[in-house]
């Protein structure tokens, strides 16, 4: 279920957690006064069904909303059949185990353009996500696949591409990484630009697009090729107060996941700034 308001949390187990497992992370998120956490399956889906059951129980007890970030090793534009199948399997397992944890949103980095045309890559990604969404429906796995807006120009994942997939395929919604969108072109960093992004989301996906959002935010370092690395919010030029103002103006609901190097401190900064608007 999407939350009734905008909630803030961390990309993975907070750094200040005493143990490094997901259940301890969820408990720490609650102690900090945050409300959501992304389970990072980025190096592979290494959680058992029993482990997922414990995560679900803890998240329900602590009232923490969960999402999943699928492994990084995914390329739905791979020309090698074996690599494509492995990519699809990683997304499927992320969704299967994620949903057992109570996570609904499965964030993924969809593809690289490589030497293909943008149209050809879009077709390949679309075909793969349609297949996966259908498989999840057939197996009654209540997961939404969320291709992410990406920060490097070599990566598939402009706002337009991600919104188009979400319009076209049932069971696909966007993950808007505002820091990536800023880093990709060096723009998208002012109140009017953030308002324009949210208008595009509403035009493509209607009100549901705004009331069931999944977002990533952090400081970011970039050059002419796009993203270089994540930074602490206050040590970067990312204009998070204006973003939060735009999110409030559009009455956006959903999860804001902070990916900064000091993720819990910056997630709290985002939450407190938003409440103070």
Rounded mean pLDDT, 48-57: 98
CATH ID of 6-276, from 3.90.190.10, 3.20.20.150, 3.40.190.10, 3.30.1550.10: 3.20.20.150
**Residue 2: is its pLDDT beyond 80?**
no
Q: What is the DSSP string of 195-240?
A: HHHHHHHHHHHHHHHHHSEEEEE-EEEEETTEEEEEE-GGGS---H
**Residue 137: is its pLDDT beyond 80?**
yes
Side by side, which strands form the sheet with 105-108? 144-147, 105-108, 65-69, 36-40, 6-11, 254-258, 213-217, 176-177
pTM for this one?
0.97
- What does the mean pLDDT of the chain come to? 97
Rounded mean pLDDT, 23-42: 98
As a residue count, the chain comes to: 277
**Residue 1: is its pLDDT beyond 70?**
no
Q: Tell me which residue of 222, 253, 206 sits closest to 3, measured CA to CA.
A: 253
**Residue 85: is its pLDDT beyond 70?**
yes
Rounded mean pLDDT, 41-69: 97
* Domain range list for the chain: 6-276
Over residues 182-237, the pLDDT tens digits come to 999 999 999 999 999 999 999 999 999 999 999 999 999 999 999 999 999 999 99
What residue ranges in 84-124 does DSSP mark as E strands? Answer: 105-108
Q: How far is CA 26 from the centre of its chain?
A: 18
- Position 63 scores a pLDDT of 98
């Amino acid at each position: 279920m999407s939350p009734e308001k905008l909630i803030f949390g961390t990309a993975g187990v907070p750094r200040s957690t005493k143990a490094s497992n997901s259940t301890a992370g969820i408990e720490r998120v609650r102690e900090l006064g945050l409300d959501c956490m992304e389970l990072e399956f980025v190096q592979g889906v290494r959680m058992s069904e029993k482990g997922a059951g414990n995560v679900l129980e803890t998240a329900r007890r602590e009232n923490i909303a969960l999402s999943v970030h699928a492994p990084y090793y995914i390329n739905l534009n791979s020309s090698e059949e074996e690599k494509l199948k492995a990519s699809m399997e990683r997304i499927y397992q992320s969704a299967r185990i994620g949903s057992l944890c109570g996570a609904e949103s499965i964030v993924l980095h969809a593809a690289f353009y490589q030497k293909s045309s943008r149209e050809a890559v879009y077709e390949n990604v679309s075909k793969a996500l349609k297949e996966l969404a259908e498989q999840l429906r057939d197996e009654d796995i209540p997961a939404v696949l969320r291709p992410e807006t990406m920060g490097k120009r070599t990566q598939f994942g402009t706002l337009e591409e991600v919104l188009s997939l979400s319009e076209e395929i049932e069971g696909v919604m966007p993950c808007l990484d505002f820091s990536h969108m800023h880093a990709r072109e060096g723009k998208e960093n002012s109140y009017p630009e953030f308002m324009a992004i949210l208008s595009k989301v509403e035009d493509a996906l209607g009100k549901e697009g705004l009331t069931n959002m999944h977002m990533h935010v952090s400081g970011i370092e970039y050059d002419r090729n796009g993203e270089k690395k994540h930074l602490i919010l206050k040590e970067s030029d990312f204009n998070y107060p204006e973003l939060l103002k735009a999110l409030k103006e559009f009455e956006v609901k959903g999860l804001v996941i902070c990916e900064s190097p000091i993720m819990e401190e910056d997630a709290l900064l985002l939450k407190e700034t938003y409440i103070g608007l």
